[in-house]
Structure 1
Amino acid sequence: MKKEKLKLAILDMNNDVPNQGLRCIKEIVETFHEEVAYRIFNVRAKGEIPDASYDIYISSGGPGSPLDEGEWRQPYLQLMQNLWDINKADTEQKKHVFFICYSFQVICNYFELGEIKPRRNTSFGILKVHQTKKGHNDLIFKGLNDPFYAVDSRDWQLIQPKLTVFKRHGATILSLEKIRTHVELERAIMAVRFSEEFVGTQFHPEAEPVSMESYFSLEENKKVVIDSFGEKKYNEMMNRIDDPEKIELTYNTILPSFIQNAIDKVKQPVMS
Structure 2
Amino acid sequence: MSHPPPVKVAILDLYDGIVNQGIMAIQKVLENFEDEHGFQFKIEIFDVRGSNQLPDTDHDIYLSSGGPGDPLASEGSEWENNYFDLIERLQRHNHTEGTIKKHVLFICHSFQLMCRRWRLGTVNLRKIPSYGVVPVQITGYEPLLASLSDPFYALDSRSWQVVHPDQERFEQTGATLVATEQEPGEQDDPPAMMAIRFDPYFFGTQFHPEADAEILTEYLTGADKRHELIADRGEAGYYALLADVQDPAKIKATQHTIIPQFLLQAISGS
Q: Report how far residue 180 of structure 1 moved.
A: 4.9
- Equivalent AA in structure 2 for residue 89 of structure 1: T
CA–CA distance in 1 between the matches of 2:159 and 2:221? 23
In the other structure, the counterpart of 2:201 is 197
In the other structure, the counterpart of 2:73 is 68
In the other structure, the counterpart of 2:52 is 47
2:177 is paired with a residue of what secondary structure?
strand
How does 1:113-192 map onto structure 2 within 5 Å?
113-132=120-139, 134=140, 137-180=141-184, 183-192=187-196
In the other structure, the counterpart of 2:215 is 211
- Quick one: structure 1 residues 188 and 218, their matched pair in 2 at CA, closer, same or farther if it must change by over 3 Å? same
Q: Which residue of the other structure, out of 23, 40, 47, is the alignment partner of 1:35?
A: 40
Conserved? CA contact 2:184–2:192, under 8 Å: no
- Quick one: structure 1 residues 181 and 216, their matched pair in 2 at CA, closer, same or farther if it must change by over 3 Å? closer
Q: Report how far residue 232 of structure 1 moved.
A: 4.3
- Equivalent AA in structure 2 for residue 189 of structure 1: M
CA–CA distance in 2 between the matches of 1:239 and 1:30? 25
Conserved? CA contact 1:129–1:175, under 8 Å: yes
Task: Tell whether 2:9 aligns with 1:5.
Answer: no
- Equivalent AA in structure 2 for residue 224 of structure 1: E
CA–CA distance in 1 between the matches of 2:58 and 2:210? 24
In the other structure, the counterpart of 1:256 is 260
Summarize deviations over 1:26-72 as a string: whole Å, max 9, x none: 11112344332111101101110000111110000000111232431
Conserved? CA contact 2:144–2:258, under 8 Å: yes
- Quick one: structure 1 residues 85 and 230, their matched pair in 2 at CA, closer, same or farther if it must change by over 3 Å? farther
Q: Report how far residue 230 of structure 1 moved.
A: 4.3
- Equivalent AA in structure 1 for residue 106 of structure 2: F
CA–CA distance in 1 between the matches of 2:6 and 2:48? 24
Q: Report how far residue 231 of structure 1 moved.
A: 3.8
Q: Which residue of the other structure, out of 117, 120, 123, is the alignment partner of 1:110?
A: 117
- Quick one: structure 1 residues 102 and 180, their matched pair in 2 at CA, closer, same or farther if it must change by over 3 Å? closer
Gaps of 5+ in 2: none
1:72 is paired with a residue of what secondary structure?
helix
In the other structure, the counterpart of 1:270 is none
In the superposition, the TM-score normalised over structure 2's length comes to 0.93
Conserved? CA contact 1:142–1:253, under 8 Å: no
- Quick one: structure 1 residues 180 and 24, their matched pair in 2 at CA, closer, same or farther if it must change by over 3 Å? closer
Q: Report how far residue 127 of structure 1 moved.
A: 0.8
Summarize deviations over 1:60-110 as a string: whole Å, max 9, x none: 000011123243110001000111121122232211000000000011111
1:126 is paired with a residue of what secondary structure?
strand
- Equivalent AA in structure 2 for residue 36 of structure 1: F
- Equivalent AA in structure 1 for residue 56 of structure 2: D
In the other structure, the counterpart of 1:22 is 23
Conserved? CA contact 1:125–1:151, under 8 Å: yes
1:245 is paired with a residue of what secondary structure?
coil
Runs of 4 or more consecutive aligned structure 1 residues displaced over 6 Å after TM superposition: none
CA–CA distance in 1 between the matches of 2:243 and 2:201? 35
Q: Tell me the number of residue pairs that the alignment of Structure 1 and Structure 2 aligns.
A: 263
- Quick one: structure 1 residues 232 and 85, their matched pair in 2 at CA, closer, same or farther if it must change by over 3 Å? farther
CA–CA distance in 1 between the matches of 2:143 and 2:250? 18
1:31 is paired with a residue of what secondary structure?
helix
Q: Report how far residue 166 of structure 1 moved.
A: 0.7
Conserved? CA contact 2:209–2:255, under 8 Å: yes
1:194 is paired with a residue of what secondary structure?
strand
In the other structure, the counterpart of 1:269 is none
Moved more, 183-192 or 100-109: 183-192
CA–CA distance in 2 between the matches of 1:102 and 1:80? 15
- Quick one: structure 1 residues 16 and 181, their matched pair in 2 at CA, closer, same or farther if it must change by over 3 Å? closer
- Equivalent AA in structure 1 for residue 71 of structure 2: P
Q: Which residue of the other structure, out of 50, 58, 64, is the alignment partner of 2:63?
A: 58
Q: Report how far residue 229 of structure 1 moved.
A: 4.4
CA–CA distance in 1 between the matches of 2:65 and 2:185? 31
